[in-house]
Amino acid sequence: MADSDASSMIYHSPSPGAYAVIRLNPVEMVRHLQYQDAVAQARAMRTKTYLIYLHREMALPFPDQPWYRFEVLPIAPCLRPSDDARGITSDMCAPIYPNISHPSGRTPLHPEFEGLFPYTNCYYWFETKATVRVRSRPEEFDETHAVTLRPMGRVKMKQPFIECGLQMGENTQAMTRSTAPDVGAPPSMQAPHPLAPPMNVSISTRLRRASVASSSSSNSSFTTNIQARSSLEDLAIMGIFSGPNDDVGLVPLVDLWISELEDHLRQEDIPSPLEMFAEFAEIVRIVQEARIRSYAAMMAPAPYDVDHDADVFCTPNELKPRRMRSFSSLLIGHADHA
């Protein structure tokens, strides 16, 4: 994000930390493939407008780029669906003020300036994020009335997700224990259960240590440490000049609006993030299938043109034998020259 004018709130790329609405642009994702079937399928998609939070920018936002890559957190109008296989429960989410409803009474996260966030039923879902490409626009992005998450809110956002991560680790370990073989079983029967990958344990351990460390320090120390860690995480994820090494053609391309959210999306129309991910999966399928067809057409042998090839090549019956001089005549000719 860079300032177009020092006195304005208009920028050539949107600002991380702001709420926005996005809509997938499937036609622009396939237009360059020059495959009419793919364009037709993209046009047939029924896309919706989604509420998101711009979590972090994935590369330096140089001016005059066709798009800018962001990691976004989709905002949901309801609690998170449970996922028993991963140890995720429906309360693994955080309300966004003025929404104060949560099964366990979790403190809501406050957008900057009370009363500007226009929705009263919104949540962040744990373990739910996406990478998108935000299309640039000639008029740039007017953030005069943008709603952002205050700096302290960005710090506090980590805490409920730490709690959810701890609970997720405990749930998966509990499932592992419930399906583990008896202690007296032979060693060969004690294979690890597929629902308990070692990563869950290590993540849970790291989160628990972070939680213990934060609770034993002062609030100011906690804020400083989290801010520093967050900055390091952003730098580690951000590709300074080019962005992550993704297949950018498969990264969803979206149009984004960052001011006057309610003008673009009413509260009763906020869709589930699951619908957004379904749209993303559909356009990725269309792009991949178009690529496969294009590659197959490129590698196919050229068709045999009967009329053209008949003019260039003769059939075996049309070949006329060349008249060759006999070996004896060659010898006589050589003697005459001698």
DSSP-derived secondary structure for 122-137: -EEETT--EEEEEEP-
The predicted pLDDT at position 235 comes to 45
pLDDT at site 181: 61
Q: Provide the 10 A C-beta neighbour count for residue 299.
A: 7
Whole-prediction pTM value?
Answer: 0.72
- Both tokens of 87, joined, read 């140890």
**What tokens appear for 177 in the block?**
């224990």
What's the confidence (pLDDT) of residue 305?
A: 61
**Cα angle value 335/336/338 (rounded, 5°):** 65
Tell me, what DSSP letter sits at residue 124?
E
pLDDT at 189: 39
- Report the C-alpha gap between 24 and 135 in whole angstroms: 10
What residue segments make up the domains of the chain, in order of their start?
10-149+239-272
pLDDT at 178: 78
Per-residue pLDDT of the chain (338 residues; tens, 9 = 90+): 545 454 578 999 999 999 999 999 999 999 988 789 999 999 999 999 999 999 999 989 999 999 999 999 999 999 999 999 999 999 999 999 999 999 999 999 999 877 789 999 999 999 999 999 999 999 999 999 999 987 788 888 888 889 999 999 999 998 888 776 655 544 443 333 333 333 333 333 344 444 434 444 444 444 444 444 444 455 444 555 555 667 899 999 999 999 999 999 999 999 999 999 999 999 999 999 999 988 887 787 877 665 655 555 555 555 555 555 555 554 555 555 55
CA distance 257 to 167: 35
Q: What 3-state DSSP class applies to 202?
A: helix
At CA 199, angle to CA 203 and CA 235, rounded to 5?
A: 60
Is 24 in a helix, a strand, or coil? strand
- pLDDT value at residue 188: 41
DSSP secondary structure string for all residues of 58-123: SB---TT-SEEEEEEEEEESSPPPPBGGGTB-TT-EEEBTT----TT-PPPB-BSSTT-S--SS-E
Q: How many residues does the chain have?
A: 338
Residue 106, Ramachandran bin (φ over 0: left; ψ between -120 and 50: alpha; else beta): beta
pLDDT at 201: 34
Choose among 132, 128, 124, 122: nearest CA to 86. 128
Distance CA 315, CA 310 (A): 8
Structure tokens at 187: 């060693």
